Chains A and B, each alone.
Chain A
């Protein structure tokens, strides 16, 4: 048993409340009609299985029921960070010690502003 930080509930919750949903940051091809079978097959079926740092999609199934991302080390099982949908990870295979704080902070501020704008709800 271990605890996972839910970025939406903003607290550590029991592992039992979460469910893993596979690899994160898989972008759907913008124009599926013009994809080759290889490209579409790769998008649909092929997933990375790295030893080391891996970005995963998880869902807080019993709490807020939101999807979010986890950067996890598949060798040591260490969870390096959890972050909301639409945000970029601070830790990655290229930056195993984390990106420089300034860069990371700048990215987060931009995302936060975007989220607030999106949350306000448009009065059509």
Chain B
């Protein structure tokens, strides 16, 4: 993994040395707010998946689908609001708008994935942006998660409207975030860095009655 220039686009490793300290968007919340421990009675389990690689892909669906299949082995979600995961569940591609997708891969893989996508796409008309530093992924698990979501967003999260494999960008507690459902019992939130602290406090407050626990 080294810096490579593709035409006029220079790619570079945003975190070249492991010794360089980095902070997740939730570090302020963890250090200045409360961090309730998870117990056996917790109806909601809050767990941040920090430092994952987030890439925004823009371009034509057919060209990008070919490249994403080749590099990640996942096909681009064909329908609006779709979410596709690979077999391990660690890599995902999400529909954001008709010409925009969000790819999430394990931390450290993002530069390699970006360069392989650029190799596969060649001269096609597209854009790839590494937004890993700008947002973070949080997973919510537990039997009361849907109750918590119902209090926080006006989107209909009933399974008939929000089945597994759907991902939507919604209003959430006066802010906004991306809400994903990768599994039957698992919901994921993509929080923007500037809203992470506020949303963390909102979720703790909303989850207090369900005994929400934070796993770090």
Contact = CB atoms under 8 A, between A and B. Distances in A.
Interface stretch (A43-51, A61-69, A104-112): A61-69
Interface size class of A (residues with CB under 8 A): 20 to 34
Contacts, number: 64
Interface residues of B, number: 26
A116 to B, nearest CB: 9
Contacts of A9: 80-81, 168
B169 A64 contact: yes
Contacts of A119: 60-62, 98-99
Main secondary structure of the interface of A (DSSP, over half): loop
Interface string A1-39: 100000011110110110000000000000000000000
Interface stretch (B27-35, B119-127, B144-152): B119-127
B140 interface: no
Interface in B133-156: 154-155
B4 interface: no
Interface of A: 1, 8-11, 13-14, 16-17, 62-66, 119-124
For the complex of A and B, list the 4 residue pairs with the smallest distance between their C-beta atoms, beginning with the closest: A121-B60, A64-B97, A121-B63, A14-B154
